[in-house]
Amino acid sequence: MSNKDTTLAPADSNRLFPNIRIVLINTFHPGNIGSVARAMKTMGLSELYLVAPKQFPAEEATTMAVGADDILASAKVVNTLHEAIDDCALVVGTSARSRANPWPVKTANEAAQQIVAESKTQQAAIVFGRETMGLHNDELQRCNVHVYIPSNPNYKALNLAAAVQIICYEIFLAGGTKSDYKQQVTEYSTKKDMDYFYEHLEQTLRDIGFIIKAHPGKTMLKLKRYFNRTRPELLELNMLRGILTAIQTAAHKKPKHDD
Amino acid sequence: MSNKDTTLAPADSNRLFPNIRIVLINTFHPGNIGSVARAMKTMGLSELYLVAPKQFPAEEATTMAVGADDILASAKVVNTLHEAIDDCALVVGTSARSRANPWPVKTANEAAQQIVAESKTQQAAIVFGRETMGLHNDELQRCNVHVYIPSNPNYKALNLAAAVQIICYEIFLAGGTKSDYKQQVTEYSTKKDMDYFYEHLEQTLRDIGFIIKAHPGKTMLKLKRYFNRTRPELLELNMLRGILTAIQTAAHKKPKHDD
């Protein structure tokens, strides 16, 4: 059952979106910074900006990053949101709550499409707020677009890394990078194989008296419907034919196709 | 700026998918069980099955659940996968790796569509494996469908709760529950308002000598293009007209002062 995991990875699938940065404001728990780095890397994002984190670098961040420590190592720590987004043409703010300010609001999916499209030529940032209270109004007002993650209206407690995970997932999907999960190409039975099989099956059912010549009924129609719908693979079909032959032998009847 | 967070929550948005269960096999860290409960609840899932968890109940699970402890309280702990899926018509296995077995493989999005559709009348389960090694082959073979989460082919280190979060997010989207994130309905300016504004603007630009009668140029065309594209709201337009009036007043006063 061994199967080499031959990846179709692009040249640098750890850095698929060099112009898209994730900005975290005032992160309180350093472990969350590590979890965010991991979430980013699973989806090919690499640019992390930390605005006045409570503690960074931190051992807990490295522990939670699990192999995404390269993202922590290259993370930029700045003092103000301004420094983190100064060179960005598109700034997207994340918000779980309805706000009084009318503002262009997009779903994660819609925002990801826009971010990926615009980031081909310009810098884009997605800004995440504090663990407890998200972004302040004045921070949201500095964004071009607000994004929200559709979720249970009675329990909007997505944690920081989970929110980053979903946004990055949508960005990965929008980026259109081929995953390497290859479906094994299955060798199915041909129509001809199936015809031989049906002949064999019908003969066997007659041999054992399940189908009676005088009253054939709709047995074969129903069986053909079943097998056509479930599409046996060639190996499976050969096995089924082996079973039919064994049945015929046991019933002391000579298989018809051996004539 | 106050805005009541009037939710459009359905009667029980914490239990949107009573026929869809999340099954965790041999979870090692109890904290992950809590994070999974939280991830489920954010997306309206409620049914959690734990197959032979290392430790449960556990304080760490409750800590990580943050308000999703109702899901932990009703979680069913069983000894075998068989017990967890016995009554399920659809069993979906999660797998990050390519496998030799040919099997119907769907993306998270595709699988979610199927799960939501079939769970309207039948029980469905989504099975997640161990933190370190996922599902064993014999467990995957007991599933009807395999699902994978598209991700960076060079770094498939989605943690358990992150994987559950994405699958549940796709289920929530497939469920079509309206989010309560309501965009404030904005009162935009009418064409007539805009025409008055352009008249006022042009007159003001003439008053201050920016547009010269003999050489009007394309100033107004460019300004109209800008304002039409950016669609000022009515309140914003009124403010702009106020500014124009102030400019005119200042410009008219000026000669008087100079007199």
| Most confident listed range (A98-112, B27-41, B121-135) | B27-41
Q: Beta strands B145-148 and A90-94: pairing type?
A: unpaired
Prior bond of B232 cis (ω within 30°)? no
pTM of this structure: 0.80
Regarding whether B31 and B94 lie in a shared domain, the answer is yes
- What pLDDT is attached to residue B257? 43
Other residues' Cβ atoms within 10 Å of the Cβ of residue A195? 11
Regarding whether A36 and A144 lie in a shared domain, the answer is yes
Above 70 in pLDDT, residue B184? no
At B96 the three-state DSSP class reads coil
- What pLDDT is attached to residue B101? 56
Find the distance separating the first CA and the last CA of chain A, reported in whole Å.
38
- What pLDDT is attached to residue B12? 86
Prior bond of A57 cis (ω within 30°)? yes
**Single-letter amino acid code for the residue at A52:** A
* Boundary-marking domain end, from B133, B150, B175: B175
In this complex, the residue of A2, A7, A165 whose CB is nearest that of residue B165 is: A165
Above 80 in pLDDT, residue A84? yes
Regarding whether A36 and A116 lie in a shared domain, the answer is yes
- What pLDDT is attached to residue A5? 39
Mean pLDDT, rounded, for B121-140:
92
Q: How far apart, in whole angstroms, are the C-alpha atoms of residue B54 and residue B135?
A: 16
Give domain status of residue B185, yes or no.
no
In this complex, the residue of A98, A157, A166 whose CB is nearest that of residue B169 is: A166
Regarding whether B42 and B161 lie in a shared domain, the answer is yes
- What pLDDT is attached to residue B186? 67
Q: Sorting pLDDT into bands at 50, 70 and 90, what band is B183? A: low
> Looking at CA atoms only, how far is residue A252 from chain B in angstroms?
36
A236 vs A49, residue with greater confidence? A49
Which of A78-92, A191-205, B53-67, B88-102 is predicted least confidently?
Answer: B88-102
> Looking at CA atoms only, how far is residue B69 from chain A in angstroms?
12
Contact (CB<8Å) A152/B7: no
Contact (CB<8Å) B152/A1: no
pLDDT digits (tens, 9 = 90+) for B145-165: 899 999 998 888 899 999 999
Contact (CB<8Å) A162/B159: no
Chain B residues close to A184, C-beta within 8 Å: 98-103
Q: Which residues contact B187 (CB under 8 A, 6 or more apart)?
A: B233, B234, B235
- What pLDDT is attached to residue B229? 80
What's the CATH number where A146 sits?
3.40.1280.10
Regarding whether A221 and A197 lie in a shared domain, the answer is yes
Write down the H helix ranges in chain B: 30-42, 59-65, 69-73, 81-85, 108-118, 137-140, 160-175, 191-207, 219-230, 234-258
- What pLDDT is attached to residue B213? 82
> Looking at CA atoms only, how far is residue A94 from chain B in angstroms?
12
Residue with token string 């939710």: B7
Give domain status of residue A28, yes or no.
yes
Regarding whether B146 and B36 lie in a shared domain, the answer is yes
A37 vs B6, residue with greater confidence? A37
Regarding whether A163 and A39 lie in a shared domain, the answer is yes
In this complex, the residue of B99, B102, B186 whose CB is nearest that of residue A186 is: B102
Residue range(s) defining the domain that contains residue A223 = 191-258
DSSP state of B183: P
Contact (CB<8Å) A16/B157: no
pLDDT digits (tens, 9 = 90+) for A114-126: 999 999 999 999 9
Give domain status of residue B216, yes or no.
yes
Contact (CB<8Å) B159/A186: no
B165 burial (CB, 10 Å; 0-12 / 13-18 / 19+) is: buried
pLDDT digits (tens, 9 = 90+) for B79-119: 999 999 999 889 999 976 655 556 778 999 999 999 999 99
Above 50 in pLDDT, residue A6? no
Give domain status of residue B117, yes or no.
yes
Give domain status of residue A15, yes or no.
no
Regarding whether A83 and A151 lie in a shared domain, the answer is yes
What's the CATH number where B244 sits?
1.10.8.590
In this complex, the residue of A98, A173, A185 whose CB is nearest that of residue B180 is: A98
- What pLDDT is attached to residue B118? 92
Contact (CB<8Å) B179/A43: no
| Most confident listed range (A32-41, A189-198, B80-89) | A32-41
B22 within 8 A of B149, measured Cβ to Cβ: no
Contact (CB<8Å) B154/A9: yes
Regarding whether A214 and A170 lie in a shared domain, the answer is no
| Most confident listed range (B107-116, B134-143, B189-198) | B107-116
Give domain status of residue A181, yes or no.
no
Mean pLDDT, rounded, for A159-188:
85
Write down the H helix ranges in chain A: 30-42, 59-65, 69-73, 81-85, 108-118, 137-140, 160-175, 191-207, 219-230, 234-250
Contact (CB<8Å) A169/B151: yes
Contact (CB<8Å) A39/B5: no
Give me the number of domains chain A comprises.
Answer: 2
Above 50 in pLDDT, residue A3? no
- Kind plus residue range of the DSSP H or E element containing A128: strand A124-128
Regarding whether A230 and A122 lie in a shared domain, the answer is no
> Looking at CA atoms only, how far is residue A169 from chain B in angstroms?
7
Give domain status of residue A48, yes or no.
yes
Mean pLDDT, rounded, for A20-41:
97
What does pLDDT average to over chain B?
A: 87
DSSP string, B184-210: PPP-BPPHHHHHHHHHHHHHHHHHTTS
* Boundary-marking domain end, from B143, B175, B207: B175
Above 90 in pLDDT, residue A54? yes
Chain A residues close to B42, C-beta within 8 Å: 151-152, 155-158, 162
- What are the strands of the beta sheet with B90-94, ordered from one edge? B76-78, B47-51, B20-25, B124-128, B90-94, B145-148, B105-107
A50 within 8 A of A21, measured Cβ to Cβ: no
A93 within 8 A of A59, measured Cβ to Cβ: no
* Boundary-marking domain end, from A131, A147, A175: A175
In this complex, the residue of B105, B157, B181 whose CB is nearest that of residue A181 is: B105
Choose from B135, B152, B160, B167 for mutation: most chain A CBs within 10 A. B152
Q: Sorting pLDDT into bands at 50, 70 and 90, what band is A189? A: confident
Give domain status of residue B4, yes or no.
no
> Looking at CA atoms only, how far is residue B106 from chain A in angstroms?
9
pLDDT digits (tens, 9 = 90+) for B7-43: 445 668 899 999 999 999 999 999 999 999 999 999 9
Regarding whether A241 and A143 lie in a shared domain, the answer is no
- What pLDDT is attached to residue B156? 83
Regarding whether A134 and A158 lie in a shared domain, the answer is yes
